[in-house]
Chain A
Amino acid sequence: MTAFQLTVAAFAVVTVALVALEGLARRSSTWPQIGDVFTVLMTRPTGRFLVMLGWWWLGWHFFVR
């Protein structure tokens, strides 16, 4: 297995795990969902600003660079 395949596989495993976690969280009332994670991250104005800055960087990374 090449380094490229290994890294892609690692990304795939983490992505599937996070999607599965969100799926399970939506069926439970006590499991935090991804929305809860962002709500907590964005509780303070600084966190809100940094999360939106991350969102901006994501767009720049994919559509400009």
Chain B
Amino acid sequence: MQAVAVERRRRRGLLVAGAALYAWVAGHFTPFTLPAAVVTFVPGAIGLALSTRLPRRTTPRGGLSRRVWLAWGIGIVAVVGLETYGFFAGSSSEGHPTISNIVNHGLHGDETRALAFFGWLAFGDWLLRR
């Protein structure tokens, strides 16, 4: 039992180290180039393929507050609404920005882009564990 847990931790550590290395490499590619497209396409395609094959790991909890569900719904609709409005209003750094217009300022450096890429990979992994 303990050996299984140790093996699981070792695999997880290797996965995290591999993802960190991949993100570090990916962060050094300039946006709008083929290498940047390829390093983003590959994990996206793998994640999408795994989402149709991996079994679900969590089941929805029952008896949760309806008012809080509504609050989450309003928050998500607000983010999507602001993003959509910014997109159709020109998506600029001067008028109505989208999230990427705001975040792009912070993604100029290779290290910050690598860190954000690692965060994106971690988010995908977290989603696949749902």
- Please give, as numbers and ranges, the residues of chain B lying within 8 Å of A1 by CB-CB distance: none
Do the beta carbons of B31 and A64 come within 8 Å of each other?
A: yes
Q: How many residues of A contact B (CB 8 A)?
A: 42
B69-90 Cβ-contact flags toward A at 8 Å (1 or 0): 1011001101100100010000
Binding site for B on A (CB under 8 A): 2-4, 7-8, 10-11, 14-15, 17-18, 21, 25, 28, 30-32, 34-40, 42-43, 45, 48-49, 51-53, 55-56, 58-65
Do the beta carbons of B75 and A7 come within 8 Å of each other?
A: no
Instruction: For B120, give its contact among A7, A8, A30, A59 (CB under 8 Å).
Output: A59
- Please give, as numbers and ranges, the residues of chain B lying within 8 Å of A43 by CB-CB distance: 56, 60
Closest beta carbon of chain B to A47's beta carbon, Å = 10
Binding site for A on B (CB under 8 A): 26, 31-32, 36-37, 39-41, 43-45, 47-48, 51-52, 56, 58-61, 63-65, 68-69, 71-72, 75-76, 78-79, 82, 86, 93-97, 99-100, 102-103, 107, 113, 116-117, 120, 123-124, 127-128, 130
A22, B68: Cα distance in complex, Å: 10
Do the beta carbons of B44 and A56 come within 8 Å of each other?
A: yes
